[in-house]
Structure 1
């Protein structure tokens, strides 16, 4: 089968032929329907080999961590051959202190996983280590469901984290309304009675934000707005500084974006008094369960731009350049 793989650190991924995986006892084979593309896939090949090895990543491996498809074969507990499933994006062991408390995204055994250090979903088939990673999709289309597993679940995790800080009629600012932020705006509209300010430098994204639930839009965030919360899906120096300035005392700033910004601020007068600043990567299994439930009701919009596997390099180049026609891109098999 064909797969899009990182074969050597410091070199671009490439399409190669690899054997179709054969499941061992306890594993499940999934035929891939669609695999969402993530900005992190663009940066992974640029990592120094020492960093990848420290994370437990071993090349070569197949990229792709936003995966959905169909179960292959009978004998999978709770599933039948051909059942549509989404694959939980973050890897977690299910046994450690964090996993037992529903903090899957903090699992110390999850630094290497499907699409980041192990074979992912940019191939015709992918192996799943256990049914713990399988999420039934019901009537949802597995071709387009992949982005729900990371972009959707991660943004939902961010919104769920700030809910205790929010008040009816209060203000929440979402910085960056692309692949993740466009989901966050929808979750805030569905779960809160706050005013939602969408911030982005891309005019097309701002134009689409009101249809997702944003009350206001702006190309930048400036001044002290007295916001209950700011969710930063960019993570650059200027968005971090602006996001902190915009908070009210007791507010919450969530750093989710990975643009390389730094939090270089003295605590006095820079951080929200009695508030919080937090960051994380990934999501919990319960986040994805909620996201799939919302999507199944039709309450969640998930626009994607589809590419065939032959156009995988073009899709990544347009993702990196910010020239997609949709907030998200995926490879359809």
Structure 2
């Protein structure tokens, strides 16, 4: 719900320029990525994946009502940092729970199922946000209140029904970082960073569509529905295809789909066709990359360092995407939206070629 309205709330509601929004959007997506290392390391050392994940979800839930009090850039930034700190704490332990609960040859399917269920919530969120905004005549505060209630319910479900996976306790930070000495895992991390630098955030994709078509702000929260719908439909098939055809092939192929999104934003295609095609490709990109990357890396890591190792990978990717948000926001401010997208296309082509050379010789 919050993801659906946050870009328009910051740009149209508060009046932030693209550069300031790019900073906050990057902060939202990556500035607190290093907290993932803390969450992953603690979860491994104590083998308390559920506790760490639950703490992260609870922290993010508390940030929903805090958005009601934040009106300045520093205050909004502080709330977003706290919210992303919660995400940073929970992501690696949660993915480690999934990986440790699944056979090595079915990791793609397991993460595909998880991403499909996660996306089902992401699909409902914008619809609820749209309904709330319509019912309250564009009152963003109501979205934050309703969202906080759903977040609290999610934490309760985790506490009551999720089972922890206990095993041999992990070692030191040095032991976790030693995963980077494994060539296969190091190559995956390098590719995730390279491609992350060229991945324009969801918020900018939606703002670009709104800029191109100039439709009513009332319909903006529905844009993530298109991405989530495609993600939901394709997450499991992409995971199964990754298990059979090679996870690195599907992962790299997903970035070709992202290149298609950029091409559509630059093309003369207009109207509903542009929206439908761009959002479908956007969701397919996530289906081919999000869970597949974790399935690709997870089996390479020892069980006692799995959360920490995945946290390293996620941190590198999130930090790279933070840099992309800053660069894209600056490019939009200085050169305009079309030139910014052309720069993203060039960057993605170069990064994709380099990633293909790194991953192609040997499947991890």
Query: Is TM-score (shorter-chain normalized) higher than 0.5?
Result: no
The structure richer in helix per residue is 2
Structure in which a larger fraction of residues adopt strand: 1
Higher RCO (CA-CA < 8 Å; seq separation 6+): 2
TM-score after normalising by structure 2: 0.27
